[in-house]
Structure 1
Amino acid sequence: MTKKIIAVNAGPRKGWNTDTLIDEAIKGAESAGAEVEKFNLFRLEKYTGCISCFGCKKEKYKGHCIRRDGLTEVLDAIREADGLIIGSPNYLSELTASFRALYERLVFQNLTYNADVPCCNENPIPTLLIMTSNAPDNAYEVLLQNYQNVFNGFVGPTEVFVSGETLQLKDYSKTDWPWFFNAEERYERHETVFPKEREAAFEKGKELVLG
């Protein structure tokens, strides 16, 4: 039986770092025989984060966010999937607001407030969480450990993949940023290190399917 993987891009820039690594992970999953459906959160119809309506805490809606908007099809797809690839850039020391909106609703629908059975997710799935950042790879270890712990508990066993010190622009000379870091080093890293990260993302997408 063909496995179904859902890929979610929580970044706005098509063809840049986050999107590229997600696509490499998708190729890896497909190479292992999976079918992949990709969602771009910045291109969906209007949606919000959790509105604290507590509809998902009613027995008949258990494990289902009842809010109907642009995220509904994403949540429904993840609920039926065999694996999840989700990626976001880091903005101001956090993942994007779009990521957070999905994260809130993905997790809260599975939270029961029952000490004996804290999670009602009936379909835990392996997850690959990708973060790209302008900072060094280890700059957000605590942040990512927190996300990993929550995903482990409410979505499924989660691996984190980080690409730091990424190239943000093709031409830094048009900005005042180069004083903050060495732009030439960023160009060089994009040509030498980022291709290896693309290969690593491919392998992690493959492993997501093969286990």
Structure 2
Amino acid sequence: MSKKIVVVNGGPRKGWNTDTLLTEAAKGAEAVGAEIIRFDLFRLEKYTGCISCFGCKREKFKGHCICRDGLTPVLDAIREADGLVLGAPIYLSEFTASFRALYERLIFQNLTYTKEQPCCNEHMIPALLVMTSNAPQEMYQGLMDNYQRTMNSFVGPTKVLISADTLQLKDYNSTDWKWTIFDPEKKKKRHETVFPEECKKAFEMGKELCS
């Protein structure tokens, strides 16, 4: 029986960095026979982050977010999956608000507030967390370490892929933009040389999810 891998894109831009890396990870999983279930958060029905209703803390709903909205099918799919690929770009030193909404509800539903069993998730699965940013990688290592620790505890063993100093535009020299802090040629060169290697790494990490 093929494994089911859920892929969740927390970025809005189709065909760009985050979308491309997640697609490569999905292709890697597919290459070893996995079934891919993909969600693009910016294209779902309306949803919110955690509303602190504490419904998931009641015994009969334990481990299940009871808020019903556009994120419900995503959370349900993750609960039945054999692996998870999550990714989003960094906006103002954090993941996108769309990603954070999912993250809050994914983690909080399994947090018990008990010393004896802090996590009630009985279906831990391997995960890959993909981050993209136009800023240098060293700015986000601590952030990603925190995400990895939390996901290790509440989702399953998590690996991280960081793609930093990314290309944001096809033409930084357009008269529409006055972004003088960037070196357009350096950005383009990195996209042509380093980013393809990151895509290969994403492909291999996708395969590893199924091993």
CA distance in 1, matches of 2:197, 2:84: 22
Query: Secondary structure of the residue that 2:210 maps to in structure 1?
Result: helix
Match of 1:190 in 2: 191
Q: How does 1:38-187 map to 2 (within 5 A)?
A: 38-174=38-174, 175-177=177-179, 179-187=180-188
CA shift at 1:205, angstroms? 0.2
Uncovered stretches (5+) of structure 1, i.e. residues with no partner: none
CA distance in 1, matches of 2:162, 2:76: 27
Q: Bigger shift: 137-146 or 93-102?
A: 137-146
CA shift at 1:32, angstroms? 1.1
Match of 1:29 in 2: 29
Q: Does 1:13 align with 2:18?
A: no
CA distance in 2, matches of 1:112, 1:188: 48
CA distance in 2, matches of 1:197, 1:149: 22
Give CA deviations for 1:133-155 in whole Å, capped at 9, x if unaligned: 01112220111111011101101
Amino acid at match of 1:110: N
TM-score (norm 2): 0.98
TM-score (norm 1): 0.98
CA distance in 1, matches of 2:81, 2:103: 16
Query: Secondary structure of the residue that 1:100 maps to in structure 2?
Result: helix
Amino acid at match of 2:199: R
How many residue pairs are counted as aligned between the two chains?
209
Uncovered stretches (5+) of structure 2, i.e. residues with no partner: none
Identity between Structure 1 and Structure 2 (%): 68
Give CA deviations for 1:90-122 in whole Å, capped at 9, x if unaligned: 011100000100000000000001101000001
Match of 1:209 in 2: 210
CA shift at 1:39, angstroms? 0.2
CA distance in 1, matches of 2:178, 2:144: 29
CA distance in 2, matches of 1:172, 1:208: 36
Give CA deviations for 1:25-66 in whole Å, capped at 9, x if unaligned: 000000011101110000000000000000000100000000
CA shift at 1:197, angstroms? 0.7
CA distance in 2, matches of 1:150, 1:128: 13
CA distance in 1, matches of 2:145, 2:193: 27
Amino acid at match of 1:57: K
Amino acid at match of 1:125: I
CA distance in 1, matches of 2:155, 2:96: 19
What is the RMSD of the two structures over their aligned residues, measured on CA atoms?
0.6
Query: Secondary structure of the residue that 1:172 maps to in structure 2?
Result: coil
Query: Secondary structure of the residue that 2:125 maps to in structure 1?
Result: coil
CA distance in 2, matches of 1:14, 1:138: 26
